[in-house]
Amino acid sequence: VITTTDDLTQRRIEGFLYEEARLADENDYDAWEQLWTDDAMYWVPANGEGSDPTREMSILYDNRRRIGTRLAQLKTGKHYTQSPPSRTRRIVANIETMPTVGDRPGEEPPGGADLEVQANVMIAESRASGVTLIMGRVTYHLRLSAGELKMSYKKVVLINNDRPMPTMSFLL
Amino acid sequence: MHTTTSQAPIDYRDLARGDRVHGSLYTNPEIFAEEMSRIFYRTWIFVGHTSEIAAPNDYVRKSIGTQDVIMTRDRDGDIHVLLNRCAHRGSIVCNEPRGNSSAFRCPYHGWTFRNTGDLIGYPFRQGYGESGPELNLASLPRVASHQGFVFASMATDGPTLAEHLGPAAEEFDRLASLSPEGEISLSCGWIGHRLNANWKLLFENDADGYHPQFAHRSVIAATNTHIGDLYSDRSPVTAHDLGHGHSLREMRPVYRDSPPLSWAGASEERLPDYATQMRAALGDRADVALTDGPPNLMVFPNLAIMDIHISVFQPLAPDLSVQHVTAVQWNGAPDLNRRELQQTVASVGPAGMFLADDAEMHERVQQGLAMREPEWVDVSRGLLRERTDEHGHAVGSVTDETGIRAFWHEYLRLMTAEEVA
């Protein structure tokens, strides 16, 4: 049920997704972290769409605290796979505001007032071995919090997550 | 591209010396090809776990070196490892990652094979006359398991799996003893991490207790992990050559000085259901199991049991490998499993806080090995202070390269042996 987000325009939603993408591409870890709610969940499943991250391997499955740890690791400058950081640019497209909010793993957010948005993402990453292209479908749960749009859930389903994948320790 | 064989055979004794190994061992395509035939297509290779094919007629796709294999359980419960190649015209016969089927039917010409590899039949028999070809899927001649870990060998004869594992076998038992039911499962699915690096770098890294304080300093700085103390020059942890290329990092001196479940980063208070079930199932022996924890075991040439997760090393080319990883799940221990899966997911795979940096080091080493000088890679650390245990096996300190040298001993033995031994 969409409540507090009823009057969000498509344009404002797109603006949020583009900002999130830009902060990730530019390794602006502090600003990117500010986009998350306190009950956030960040999930990159393996081997398909993902059904239960508490019973199956994931590429990444972070609650809010672990998002902070991941960013703290990046900020040490000694996370060698990201030192120097990968240069990435991503395109977020095919943005759809979904009629209902799907389930998410972890504790349900209080009130359940989020809005679900889905999009396709294509990320080009340049590293020593060349340019890698990765693509996937992203599900976002967005929430208005004190007038600001925040992200309570981000799930990235990569199209090749059932095959061997190269290191991906930049922000997906 | 290598098109000719060299005139003189490669002298592995000259390349893999006790205190150093030659850089070409990681880069030469001819050596890679010989490793496949003399190691991966000969000795016991870890393929998968029985829990991945729990029911009759279950199957799962796996690999042995560059070979695509199907691990099957037939209707009688016996396990087979088949090469994924139609005996007729060569197409792969299994295109699914896993499933349940008593037979594999090649879509090209309809040849059908039982999950034991035996030919069931083919269409239009009259085209072959009275006695048509009886061509079966290639089935590995020797398949054996220990604690559900399935190994296979392409050699018809050779040491048994028990002989191959030697004292490593009891470490698998220790792993299973942490389940109230005495069994583990590998039921979480695998993640494949593709690396531009030679497979031996992956094995050596997991046998190496010297790098964690340095390669993983960002994790140490960002979290409350205790690995910095475990892998220090003052750590009581020891590195043990177990023979046949296997090695063990012996963590128990640390954990026996700590409360039960320290190895899990937990306590009996935090995992009360698990602790209760273990005490009910094991009685007096529960304390030892809960205190000692799982092993840190390297199994030559492609398996690592790293406490709570399993790594399998798959060679694809001299400079290309896949590390397959999954979490150990102990049967009857849901609260422990949930916790250790979370730890594993945070640590391993392409975005893992530990393994992404290991992978980075492997790829940097592979790049560095392309330089002409100084030719050699040093593996001498700890040689001067190694001792020998009652079985004649080397024991070093945790930061010593004892486990790496154990790998090279077996490598050299197999690469120079004419017969399987």
Measured between CB atoms, does B191 come within 8 Å of chain A? yes
Task: Report whether B323 contacts B195 (CB < 8 A).
Answer: yes
pLDDT in tens, B111-146: 999 999 999 999 999 999 888 888 999 999 999 999
Residue from B205, B218, B338 to probe the interface with A (highest A Cβ count within 10 Å): B218
B213 CB within 8 Å of a chain A CB: no
pLDDT digits (tens, 9 = 90+) for A35-63: 999 999 999 999 999 999 999 999 999 99
Classify burial at B57, counting beta carbons within 10 Å of its beta carbon; exposed 0-12, middle 13-18, buried 19 or more.
Answer: middle
Helix (H) or strand (E) holding B142: strand B142-146
ipTM of the complex as predicted:
0.93
Contact A61/B350, CB-based, under 8 Å?
no
Report DSSP state, residue B10: P
Query: What average pLDDT does this structure show over B289-293?
Result: 97
Q: Residue B151 and residue B47: Cα distance in Å, rounded?
A: 5
Q: What is the pLDDT of residue A7?
A: 61
A80 contacts B353? CB cut-off 8 A: no
What are the DSSP calls for A97-162, one per residue?
E-SSPPP-SSSPPGGG--EEEEEEEEEEEEETTEEEEEEEEEEEEEEEETTEEEEEEEEEEETTTT
- DSSP letters, B319-375, are TEEEEEEEE-EETT-HHHHHHHHHHHHHHSSTT-TTHHHHHHHHHHHHHHTTS-SS-
Partner-chain residue, chosen from A57, A81, A129, that has the shortest CB–CB distance to B326:
A57
CA closest to B362 among chain A residues: A81
- Are the C-beta atoms of A24 and A44 separated by less than 8 Å? no
| Average pLDDT for A20-30 | 97
Length of chain A: 172
d(CA B198, CA B393): 27
Work out the pLDDT band at A109, boundaries 50, 70, 90: low
Cα A74 to the center of its chain, rounded Å: 16
Q: What is the CB neighbour count within 10 angstroms for residue B163?
A: 11
Which among A73, A163, A168 is the top mutation candidate for probing chain B, defined by the most B β-carbons within 10 Å of its own β-carbon? A73
B189 at A interface, C-beta within 8 A: yes
Strands A115-127 and B387-388: unpaired
Q: What is the pTM of this model?
A: 0.95
| Torsion, CA B375, CA B381, CA B384, CA B387, rounded to 10 | -130
Residues whose CB is less than 8 angstroms from the CB of residue A111 and which lie 6 or more positions away in sequence, other chains included: A3
User: Rounded to a whole number, what is the distance in Å from the CA of B339 to chain A's nearest CA?
Assistant: 9
Least confident of A99-103, B57-61, B138-142: A99-103
**How far, in whole angstroms, is CA A61 from its chain's centroid?**
11
Contact: A57, B189; criterion CB under 8 Å:
yes
CB-based contacts of B162, cutoff 8 Å, min separation 6 = B146, B169
